A and B are shown apart, each in its own frame.
Chain A
Amino acid sequence: MDTPELTPQEAARWALRAGLPLADERHGAVAATAQHIHAVIGTLRELDFGETPPAAVYAAPWEATHATL
């Protein structure tokens, strides 16, 4: 799914909602970078996670117990 274009004004407003006031000259660069980040991570929306729980950190002991090695 394509992410709608993020305008500099929207990026500034979104950042402000996150508690980060951005100076005017930052709006364009932050919008462009945020757009790129969302384009990359947006591919995860393709996945049907079903009942899959989140892995907050990687749990090696679980792996070590369940792996064949």
Chain B
Amino acid sequence: MQPFELTLTEAAAAIRTKELSPSELTHSVLERITAVDARLGAYVSVVGDAARHAAAQAEREIAAGRHRGPLHGVPFGLKDLIDVAGLPTTASSRVRADHMAEADSTVAARLFEAGAVLVGKTHTHEFAYGLTTPQSRNAWDHGRVAGGSSGGSAVAVAAGAATFALGTDTGGSIRVPAALNGLVGLKPTYGLLPRHGVTPLSWSLDHVGPLTRTVQDAALVLAALTGHDSRDPASLRTGPASDVLPADGGLRGLRVGVPATYYFERVTPEVEAAVRGAIERLRELGAELVEVDIPMARYVLATHWGLMVPEASAYHEWTMRSVPGLYGSDIRVLLEAGELVTAGDYLRAQRARTLMRQEWAQVRERVDVIAAPTVPMTAAMAGQESVEWQDGTVEGVSDAYVRLSAPANITGMPSLTLPVGRDGAGLPIGMQLMGAPLAEATLLRVGQAYEAAYGAPAVPAAVLA
């Protein structure tokens, strides 16, 4: 096994026991990038020299007995919306051609403090305003979409070109590419991870979070990133709540909500079968299954768009007037048309969010987690614009990918996606676990229990050079 194939948890253990050095691991990951990235397009830029320098420093610190923790000496990628001092934050856009970040974002600073080694900045759908990331290719089938908008981060981790990565999630942008590339992705509770130094798409819906190959890996990254930062006005002062499960490791007593509406509608048969099978396995592990109705399902997309569209147009107001031709055509027209959304429309969406928050809280009074498909279909072909469902309706690919993710952005509740199988073409299928605000520990515990009992080996995708 090559070092780049190790999960974060495995790599951390090998570094701790000095079986593997940070330099060996970083060298292996950089070589992997060189071997596969021309084909995958995961990275905007790779910082090989800085990574080798940081790995060598980590190695010296660890040798001197100053081991900072599980991320020390571990290589990672950052979605190129996240500032690192001295590097451009391109947002994968020509608009940012001359950008240079003057300071680290809070999350980057915390990873550096934990001793992690940045290997590069990963592609995003331009300014995170899309669900496919056309610059990157799916790690398991290069003719298919990476998912987005954190597509580069997902592809890098899935291919072994980063041991872990960070992404952002406004309507599924961590969970969608994670699911489509066979990864774990965590959208934490709104406000749990500070967004200072992260380019916004929509302030009231944006989250930062990890993409990893295992649930345990996601837990390790999350632990390094939590903590209040007053420079993000949404940053919480409270940390995650403790686990609701008994400490014996099983799921006995856990109430799992199984949606009777919305989440299994307009979903491919293979995705439905895989997720229902995974939910049945949770029952076999001791959980009690409880049927739940999803509130206000008809208004999910309307509320999400009513919030995101005007917020995105507001952020881009000046550049839309000064350099509109530098935007890609798909997001330019969205930003222009978004200026035609009225304050009345926006307030209506904000009031709908209030109602949705209240009604989801009532659902969560009956269950500890809700299990559902992350996305209704596996990775679409590159360039595919729409999907036709069995009921005869036609849906845009991006609308389909955002549909099951958006409720967690609107309500702010945490959502963890993990791989639960493959379709007939070998493409990964993801299941999301949603819980109460700040219930990350419970979601991670359930995900780990599933992974330990039924998870497939978390090996990187084979990529032909």
Contact = CB atoms under 8 A, between A and B. Distances in A.
B337 A69 contact: no
A58 B190 contact: yes
A63 B412 contact: yes
B357 A58 contact: yes
B357 A55 contact: yes
A15 B339 CA distance: 7
Interface residues of A, number: 39
B338 A49 contact: no
Interface string A26-57: 10011001100110111111010100111111
A1 interface: no
A61 B357 CA distance: 12
Given A41-B349, A58-B411, A60-B412, A69 B340 contact: no
A7 to B, nearest CB: 12
Nearest to B309: A37
A41 B412 contact: no
Interface residues of B, number: 55
A46 to B, nearest CB: 8
Contacts of B361: 63, 66-67
A64 B436 contact: yes
B355 A44 contact: no
Contact of A42 (B302, B338, B365, B368): B302
Interface of B is mostly: helix
Interface string B368-388: 100000000000000000000
B353 interface: yes
Given A40-B301, A49-B351, A64 B337 contact: no
Contact of A60 (B236, B334, B353, B410): B236
A64 B354 contact: no
30 contacts: A14-B340, A19-B321, A20-B321, A20-B336, A33-B336, A40-B302, A40-B305, A41-B309, A41-B348, A45-B348, A47-B299, A47-B355, A49-B352, A52-B354, A53-B354, A54-B354, A55-B350, A56-B204, A58-B204, A58-B357, A60-B189, A60-B412, A61-B236, A64-B238, A64-B241, A64-B436, A64-B437, A69-B241, A69-B436, A69-B439
Interface of B: 189-192, 203-204, 234, 236-238, 241, 244, 298-299, 301-303, 305-306, 309, 320-321, 333-334, 336-341, 345, 347-355, 357, 361, 364-365, 368, 410-413, 435-439, 442
Cβ-closest 4 pairs across A and B: A58-B412, A54-B350, A33-B337, A34-B337
